[in-house]
Structure 1
Amino acid sequence: MDKLRCMEAFVAVVETGNFSAAADKLDVSSVMVGKHIRQLEELLGARLLQRSTRRQSLTEAGAAFYESARTVLEQVRVAEHSIETMQATPRGLLRVSAPVTLGACAIAPLISGYLRQHAEVKVELMLSNTRVDLIEEGFDMAIRIGALADSELVARPLRPYRMIICAAPAYLERAGVPRTSADLPNHQCLAHLVWNGRTAWQLEDKPEYAWPAETRFASNDGQALRAAAVNGAGLILQPEVLLADDLAAGRLVPLLQSHVPAARPVNLVYLRDRRPRRKLMSLVEYLLERMG
């Protein structure tokens, strides 16, 4: 039994005056309207309508129930309207998870532009290289690098994540320009402390030449490595998004472009929803337009 549907039928009969007019209003048959009224009366254990051949009149119990039922239905309509309005106009909080470097260098600037277009939306951008559980941790969306295994998520591809090898002009003038990956052991190669034998980037042309493990300068932060490279400390292997501005300005020079590791896929993921929220889809569409 659908209580709300039965209440809706009862209120329609009261307001239209008979079962036939109520049926037209609700776009159902008169028989179905009568069934809903009977179910409601059985549930309440009281007769709500006095029936005659032409018109229905309210009993005392029916009159009392009508006022309450009308109030409940109005509250339901208000609740539905609030959701419809929310879906039509982006508003509310969006929680987004992204990897540290990609999130700081690419996602954060784009979200800034998105917020200028959508004044009623707030965004929390959490940067972490650990994959979050969207449901358990309450995220609306995540940006993920690498192969996906979450079949319950909607995945939208973004621009691939590319690595680049480069160095400052001053360093190359002093140490020479490497021509092949075999030249790397003769250069100062800046290392990330998170890398190890399992996670270090393997070069594309000759996997036996991994990025040199021995280094005079290492850091656990890509921005620190970038700053050191710009100041001539050595060769750097880092994401293109981190180095793009320095490359464009000539502060760093790309090297060994056919040797860099293969680009990895990047996906924007979110939970499946039969009627996705407008605020979520507005950000999805914004990011896809600029990074897809």
Structure 2
Amino acid sequence: MTLQKKATVVSTSVAALLTLMKLVIGIASGSVAVLASAIDSILDMFVSIFNYFAITNSEKPADKTFNYGRGKIEALASVIEGTIITMSGLFLLYHAIKKAMDGTVSQYLDISLIVMILSLFITVFLVMYLNKIAKKTGSMVIKADALHYKTDVYTNAAVLVSLVLVNVTGFEIIDVIVGSAISLFIIYSAYELIHDGILVLLDRAVDDKIVIDIEKIINSNDSVNAYHLLKTREAGHQTFVEVHLVFDCIITLMDAHRASDDIERKIQELDEQRDWVINIHMDPYDDFMIDHK
């Protein structure tokens, strides 16, 4: 089992545990903040399960149907996850408004406090673990999962503060305000997931720094006279690079191929954690300039 899959199994298990704890207490206590956190944990669990299947499919090799592999499934999963998070935020905002109108009073505050403290510590350790895996693998899905649970750390802390204040002051409006704030924060946090996922689906180029480094590698090779149509994109764990290299027309195919291999090797060394897919087209003259005169 790959690190990405292990991470999704861990996050799914943790989400299931947190869901059970918060849902029971949230329903029993009537606290909209605890219930909001419980609903978010339910969504976490289903999203983590979805991420497991997304990663499983994205890791499948290219075939006759999917010539470039299925790496974009991770970006699609990120967009879906962000959409689900947004919907959950709107649902929680509705419950906060409903409690304010109904005037419901929270109960079992002591038990709720214990549950939220445990949830906070568990979630902090989970975020640390997911961030570690995301850095090792470069997986967009795991990065999205880590960001998602990072928002849970803030929401759990906010719920905890809310419960303490309600317990001390007896003002239920605090629970309503915190619940509403959490829902808005959840909606805001989902924007980055949707934004990044859509850019990958639209074949956004890799970071400018990497593109500049690739250009430096090409320019440093004495056998290359010029280059054009440098294109880059990412899909899951793969980074695609395409470029046309212009050689002297009298160079041998062997020498041109050797120079291309050297450039390809140096590009791969820029980040050995990436799975590079490099396609170099060799030109005997700069046909790009001729075609665009």
Give yes or no for TM over 0.5: no
More helix by share: 2
Normalising to structure 2: TM-score of the pair?
Answer: 0.28
Higher-strand-fraction structure: 1
TM-score by length of 1: 0.28
